[in-house]
Amino acid sequence: MSGAREKKRAKKMRNQPASVTLPAEPGPFTGGGSRACPPPGDVCSEEQQQKFSNQSSGPSYRKDQYFSKGQSRGERGRGRGGWQGGHQSVSEEMPKYITVSTFAQARAAEINAMLKAVSQKSSNSLVFQTLPRHMRRRAMSHNIKRLPRRLQEMARKEAEKAVHQKKEQSKTKCRKARRRHINLVAEFNHRQRKNIWLETHIWHAKRFHMVKKWGYCLGNSPTEKSYRACYRAMTKHCLLQDLSYYCCLELKGKENELLKQLARMCSIDTGLTFQEACCLSGRFEGSLYLYRADRYPEDMLGPVTFIWKPRDGSENRQLWIWVHPALKQDILRELKAIFQCTEPEEMCIPEHVTSVQEEKQVEVVTSLGSKRKKEDKEGEKAVPVKKIIGDGTRDPFQSYSWIAQTTGIAISDRSMEILRYRLIGPLSHSVLTETLKAASVQTEMAGSETELNNWWVENCKDSEKVSLHQCQSAIFELLEGMSSPSDMPPGTILGLTVGDPRVNLPKKKTKAMPDFEKYQDNDKVRQLYLKGVPVDCAHSFIWDHDIRKNVTENKISEQDLNHMRAQLLVPGSHLDLGPCESKIPILLVQQPGKMAGEDRPGWGSGWDIYLPKGWGMAFWIPFIYRGVRVGGLQEALKHSEYQRTPHTPNDFPDCQAGMQFAKELETSLLEKFKRRPPAKRANYVKLGTLSPFICPWGQLTKNWEGRMKASGGFFCPSSTHPECCTTEGQTSCDPKAEVVREASPETGEVEETMEITNSEGALKTEDGTSIQDFGERDEIKTSDFIVLRSEKLLMQLSAWCYPTAGKDRRIRLISRLGQKAMTEDAFLPMLMSYPRALIWVNLSLLRKGNPELHAMICIPTEDDLLHLSKDKLFCGPQEPKHRDIFKDKVQKQKEKKKKKKDNVKSLESDLPGIPDEEATEDHEDLILGLWSDALPDVTSHCSRTVLGYVTRGDFSLAAGCGEALGFVSLTGLIYMLHNQPADKKGLVLLRTPASLQYRFARLNIEV
């Protein structure tokens, strides 16, 4: 019997009793059973009766009908389960006996299956949808009586079930209701429970790619192509950025107590401190690096900027510290610890979720079922005004202000209470002067019922404050005659009170341009260049919390402003609000731009403007109408890259936020690497790249420290052959490392691969600890290394990096005046004090090339420098290919996994299979193309000694060549400079992770 017939027979015998059998082959039955009796009128021939009588008594199970004598064989074979036509006709006869109980049990199973199929639906369709199409009616979907009576009961049950499962329909389901202000505010508040929106969020969301970072929803980059346009705006016109996500920490208390404790968190070696005289007066903004108390140069917290409120005659002072949201929690925790502020002064209760406003909101929502007339004013009054106090970096129900019981110093978190916009470019002051107009002096109240401008009226009664306001207005108007913000002293602060900028909105977009002729021969502009803004003019009413609150709450709405514009006799004319015009206190802070280095001084300078909350869009749109271009996080990154300054938190590997950023970046790059098919991935093991997704700063500094301690003659001339240099590094740091050299079939060069023969498979350091493996490499302690930020030492290193020959020799020699010569007496104390230190450097490629993230900075050999001297077009050497020592392990792992998948049952029952499973688990994290074991010596793994890594790199539109920013080891840098010839000082090699090509670059340290 064929396989198909066996399956067919088994299917028919599935529910049959044991007393009934089906013949295996078609033909006469072996049993004595026979078919049912023919209906009357049919006569069987004697031949058929004789045939039936000779059959055995085995009954058959066929759901065949009795065919009459007149039916043909073809007709018999058409029905399902009928007899087959042709020569395979079979005769059956009634069985002589059956087992009743077994037979009834089999029939009962069939009957139950039939009833179940009839009672239950086999699809998700409704009852009226099961009817034939000619019986369906449209009213059946909602009128059960239109269905046939036999289906009405089932349809009624379906209707009752749907009512219970149906969710309650929202009363604001139509678009008109959804677009009402009350419902929009409720929806927006619901959508920003986890990530806070800035006041310009909706404007950005329509034009930018949005990302969720640091508890905020921020614009990353514009959706349109604007990479070069943003650079042109920073260089020639103005670029606008919303920095309101930066956090403001306010400190109040006695000046001596504040300075005494804050001095523990900073060092004069790094530059400015809180005690700087020009900053302490409130005239200039300062910037510095914060550390944990008494822990300099270790335990870095991050960079901050600070502003002191100008003295007003009282003993207490007020200080604003602006921090990045990624650094806020660490800095706030340290401030509370040193000032011993443990008592919460106020509790942070978000104003947009207060109980009274929730009740009003519920009342308005419940009344939305009926139509609201346009003249109904109660609905507008019931709309809750959205007021944000907290931010996304803290629990909104925690305290946001703390006070010390002993000293009386108060620390307040003013995040999102003060908005901050940044204007970058040479014409940023022109945009300011055209957009903002100084507020007019007002001595009368706008109305007895409103509190609009009452603070301004009270201050205008004081003649000294009026004269101060007029002096500030005069200085502000002089900014229009300046060619660039970099002409002002760095960090200049100007306080001002301005009118509502929405009143001066132009009819269409214009480009703000300076008026040089108006102030060409003005001595006041020259005095402003030389002396800057006076101390008194740095005062602003924005320091007062009550005034900020009054300005925010009494803002004229856009609806009222548009209604006033509609009532003008001449449409489009200037709208004069008179005493009803809002007065807004602001603070202007000059940003100096690029200050370090010799090229492009003042590039990227601009102004920061500080506003009270609630006025974000009121200032944003007028700036847009003056022709500025808006940038996001990526534009801010490029701005700092062209300035060659570290960007927060990317370029701070020694603080917690920087390490967290590196972990997240490694995870995202590794996931992206795994998503690609193996044939399309770069094999970083063959390329000699140990860590393509993260920079192993801790191990880099440890390896260089080990090289210095292992050999007394550390500072000897570098070897001519690269393999000798590699061997030296391996013997000094890892005595059990071996170099395997193979000839490459393509180039004929020697390929080198270092194999770790340590029994534990990890590199041992001098303290006996082993280097972490690939999965645990990111857990680097802060104390493993530091970043050297001492200005005195950095200036010394910067002078050593300049060559004493070649072009610009005279300028570079001038920069070296006053610095020590590079002798052992000069650099050995530096190495002893900072054995594991990193140096922030910038690199410019000499020829073509585009540096990338995590590129390796290497030391060129004498042969490389000699080749470059002979051939000026020499791009750089090539790294010989390495041997993939993990390829066989990965292949075995794949085979074991495949074998285990194919033989799961046999492996479970077989006890000797357990060791194979353990061996497979040991190599579960093996990835083809990545170094999976503990990292060897990162400095000597390749043919050129690794000096550091690149954190940011790209083609620079400002320099016209490839530029990179990164960190190098202090020990390695001094080793390289000590052994390089005088005319080749500062020359290094760059190699991207996915390439074998080295390229020459010039290393500089700008201070």
| pLDDT tens sequence across 629-660 | 999 999 999 999 999 999 999 999 999 999 99
Cα 116 to Cα 518: distance, rounded to the nearest angstrom = 95
Measured from the Cβ of residue 822, the count of other Cβ atoms closer than 10 Å reads 15
pLDDT for the residue 816 = 53
Band (pLDDT 50/70/90 cuts) for residue 573 is confident
Taking 90 as the threshold, does the pLDDT of residue 165 lie above it?
no
CB–CB of 89/77 below 8 Å? no
For residues 278-291, b (16+ Cβ closer than 10 Å) or e, as one string?
bbbebbbbbebbbb
In this structure, what are the phi and psi dihedrals at residue 1006, rounded to the nearest 5 degrees? -100, 130
Residue 854, pLDDT > 60, answer: yes
> What pLDDT does 423 receive?
94
Query: For residue 843, how far is the Cα from the chain centroid?
Result: 27
Return the residue matching tokens 């059998």: 21
Q: What is the C-alpha separation between 815 and 732, in angstroms, rounded? A: 37
Write the single-letter amino acid at 866: L
- Which of 38-42, 74-78, 723-727, 984-988 is predicted with the least confidence, judged by mean pLDDT? 723-727
Cα angle: 582, vertex 587, 592; to 5 degrees: 145
CA 239, CA 222: separation in Å to the nearest integer?
13
Q: Residues of the chain with pLDDT > 90: what percent? A: 28
Q: What is the pLDDT of residue 789?
A: 92
- 75 compared with 495, residue with greater pLDDT: 495
Which has the minimum average pLDDT: 81-95, 382-396, 929-943? 382-396
The two three-digit tokens of residue 92, written as one number: 């059956």
- Model pLDDT, residue 247: 92
Q: What is the rounded CA–CA span in Å between residue 187 and residue 180?
A: 11
Supply the pTM of this predicted model: 0.73
Block residue for tokens 């970099």? 486
CA count, 13 A, side-chain hemisphere, 717: 6
Contact 441, 497 (CB under 8 A): no
Question: pLDDT-based confidence at 65, cuts 50/70/90?
Answer: very low
What is the arithmetic mean of pLDDT over 137-150?
87
Number of neighbouring beta carbons within 10 Å of residue 504: 16
Q: How confident is the model at residue 804 (pLDDT cuts 50, 70, 90)?
A: low
pLDDT value, residue 522: 75
Judged by average pLDDT, the poorest of 190-204, 321-335, 735-749 is: 735-749
**Is the predicted pLDDT of residue 206 greater than 90, yes or no?**
yes
> What is the per-residue pLDDT across 315-339, written as a single tens digit (0 to 9) for each?
889 999 999 999 999 999 999 999 8
Contact of 456 with 497, CB cutoff 8 Å: yes
Angle of the 970-979 helix axis to the 824-833 helix axis, nearest 10: 160
Question: pLDDT band at 853, cuts 50/70/90?
Answer: very high
Give the phi and the psi of residue 289 in degrees, each rounded to 5: -110, 130
Q: 929 vs 676, 695, 932, CA distance in Å?
A: 12, 17, 9
Phi and psi at residue 229, to the nearest 5° = -65, -40
Alpha carbon dihedral 244, 246, 248, 249, in 10-degree steps, equals 160
Answer yes or no: is pLDDT of 125 > 80: no
What is the token pair recorded at 462?
A: 């004081």
| Token code pair at residue 3 | 């396989």
Closest CA to 501 of 399, 597, 421: 421
The bridge status of strand 493-499 relative to strand 418-424 is unpaired
Average of per-residue pLDDT across 386-411? 68
Give φ, ψ of 695 to 5 degrees.
Answer: -90, 120
**Which amino acid, 818?**
G
The pLDDT tens digits for 248-300 are: 999 999 989 899 999 999 999 988 899 888 889 889 999 999 999 988 888 89
Q: Token pair 């890594």 is at which residue? A: 949
Q: ∠ at Cα 942 (940, 944), nearest 5°? A: 80
> Lowest-pLDDT range, 184-198, 273-287, 665-679, 906-920?
906-920
